[in-house]
Amino acid sequence: MLSYRHAYHAGNHADVLKHLMLGEVIDYFNRKDAPYWYVDTHAGAGKYATDSDEANKVGEIHEGLGRLAGWQDAPAAIARYLKRVNAEAGIGRFYPGSPEIASNEMRPQDCLRLFELHPADSQRLERHFEREGKRVQVKAQDGFSGLKAVLPPPTRRGIVLIDPSYEIKDDYDTVIKAVDDALKRFATGCFMVWYPVLPRVESRKMASRLQSACADSHSWLHARLDVRDMQPNGGMSGSGMFVINPPYLLRDTMAEVLPALVERLGTDEGATYVLEGHQR
């Protein structure tokens, strides 16, 4: 099933949470000179025009980035996010996806391995990075199966972002299986799993299932942002990021950021956040 196109949703509240946390994790990895790999299982098209027909059709960027853009006295981590997405003075012409943010933040010695199954988006992604040489490799294939070929990375340091669309109900089970297998191959890797907050039972159980996958062998951090009350037949009311082997500073950062995001992005009394974790 290949109907999902992130161009319709780029810059929404889920992207704010995901890309803010991704940028903070990359900043932490950059503190050491040792190289690392960034692996993205569902990389999308790389970057997205904010004035495209797709973006204008749903206008989700205005309920996400649009509520933060130009925020002059934003908390430090939000200010860093706005700088990464070129929104310090307002919404720009393009919104960078996860691979673009990673590429801009990473050093010449670091490598990106990007997977995207949608044929149109994978071609756009290849064209976007065609001048990067071996540093960036784009594979037009399913990212879940692709993980097995790239883990563990030769650097023994790495960040893996797993963020499927969850259009297919089986994606929830597939993510758990992928995480379980990935941890066996690369136990010290930093794995970042995004999931949508939806009325369906699979979404409600996602964080607890990921906790079980970690058992007591790994540190983890769960950050969830709800921007509205959940409606029984409604769409996505929020999203979560579950990070396995997170940087030790990430919890303190999110403790400052999440209340600010609730205040800025929340649309009704259902706006709230969850922040929990386990330190091994």
The set of catalytic residues is: 163
Q: What tokens does 47 get? A: 């970057």
Q: Residue holding tokens 């409600």?
A: 204
165-176 core/surface letters (b: 16 or more CB in 10 A; e: else): bbeeeebbebbb
| DSSP result, 172-208 | HHHHHHHHHHHHHH-TT-EEEEEEEE-SSHHHHTHHH
Q: What is the dihedral of CA 179, 184, 187, 193, to 10 degrees?
A: 0
Pair 51, 29: CB distance under 8 Å: no
Going across the sheet that includes 158-162, the strands are 136-139, 111-115, 37-40, 158-162, 190-197, 238-244, 220-226, 272-278
Neighbours of 161 (CB within 10 A): 26
